[in-house]
Structure 1
Amino acid sequence: MTRVVGKRAARRAELFDQLVGLFLDEGFAHLTLDDVAARLRCSKSTLYTLAESKDDLVRAATVHFFRRAADEVEEALARVDSGAGDRVTAYLEAVGDQLAPASARFMEDLARMPGARGVYEQNTAIAAERVRTLIAEGVGAGEFRSVSAEFVADVVASTMVRIQQRDVARATGFDDAQAYRELAALVTRGIAR
């Protein structure tokens, strides 16, 4: 029985990985469940084992994407054993790297669909809190000038929301990955001793 459950879980994870890849490449608003099933070479009933509707499927795929991305970002941060500035930079650049495969169409669809947008907003809030913690650690260690970590994190969160809502892309032409790299440079240089 355990082997069957393990195979089901593996197949489910594989389907979500394929689904995320499809959505990142092409977006999702224009796709029907029939389109998705055909592209993933599965039945619609298989998709219904993942979620009850297209909106639920998109939300679940978005959760899957951000859960995997969060793990990758934390792994990238764990590899940095140098100073606080390098850790903030590594964190924000890793966020950008995780968003790099996302097409403009995916990001636009994400901004328009409430369930998926909510997942992005929640992950943005978590990332901003992580940045606040990293900055506070750097201030405490004397590596950053004395700044309010809460204020800097609030500015970072505001920028992250603007990135998420496509405002930065419209204003600068930057994709999300570029925007996060620029944000990392701005923050670390702005609070450096």
Structure 2
Amino acid sequence: MKTPRRRRVDSARRESLLDNIQQIFLAEGFTTVTIGELADRLHCSRATLYSVASTKEQLVVLATKEFFRSSAEIIERRVSEHTDPRQRILVYLGGVAEAMRRNSQTFYDDMVAFAPTAEIYARNTARAATRVRELIDEGIAAGEFRSADGNFAAHLVALAIEGVQSGVLLDRTGMSAADAFSELGTLLLNGLRSRPD
């Protein structure tokens, strides 16, 4: 099989192309979008696109990884601006919800149906569960959260996030992933308070 020709592009151009590809995929999904359509819409050659990744599948994986990486970076920056444990959890889960709202339903459906991107999504939701547990532990150490309830809440959050990732929780509630993460933050904070405001 003939390998597509690649054209060398500088890192700034590559980053710009990847960002534009990501925006198209997030808005429309990736199953039906062809390399030819991407090239036409981005006003570049196929060879230029193949300089970003060797195949369409690799472009999809790269764009999905970049979506989660850049979203995590933005969320952590926002979390670092707060010291109150409750606010940090709320900002974190709110940030996850906001990031997931950038996904169209078509992208979400494509992502969970395509094994490589489903694995990226699963890995990132597992990281989110771990991060929430860390934030809960910080709140326990600061005396803001009850220890026993904090441990239970951390496990409950992990199960809830797993339920969102697998789609079971979304199917049963009719919620989107973004709405589920937002609601989880509200429930978690109200339940973890060690004393009334």
Q: TM-score w.r.t. structure 1 length?
A: 0.89
Instruction: After TM superposition, give the deviation of residue 155 of structure 1 in Å.
Output: 2.4
The corresponding residue for 1:187 is: 188
Q: Deviations over 1:145-187 (max 9, x none)?
A: 1136554333222222322333333322322221111010111
Describe the shift of the 1:115–1:130 C-alpha distance in structure 2 as closer, same or farther (beyond 3 A): same
Does residue 10 (structure 1) correspond to residue 12 (structure 2)? The answer is: yes
Q: Contact conserved, 2:150 with 2:192, CA < 8 A, in 1?
A: no
Instruction: After TM superposition, give the deviation of residue 98 of structure 1 in Å.
Output: 1.2
Identity %: 37
1:1-193 matches, within 5 Å, as 8-81=10-83, 83-147=84-148, 149=150, 151-193=152-194
Structure 2 gap segments, 5+ residues each: 1-7
Stretch deviating more after TM superposition (39-48 or 56-65): 39-48
Q: Contact conserved, 1:147 with 1:191, CA < 8 A, in 2?
A: no
**Count of aligned pairs between the two proteins:** 187
Instruction: After TM superposition, give the deviation of residue 26 of structure 1 in Å.
Output: 0.4
Q: Contact conserved, 2:149 with 2:192, CA < 8 A, in 1?
A: no
Q: Deviations over 1:66-99 (max 9, x none)?
A: 1110111011111223x21111111101111111
Instruction: Please say which structure displays the higher CA radius of gyration.
Output: 2
Q: TM-score w.r.t. structure 2 length?
A: 0.87
Q: Contact conserved, 1:107 with 1:166, CA < 8 A, in 2?
A: no
Aligned partners of 1:104 and 1:94: how far apart in 2? Answer: 18
Q: Which amino acid aligns with 1:156?
A: V
Aligned partners of 2:79 and 2:107: how far apart in 1? Answer: 26
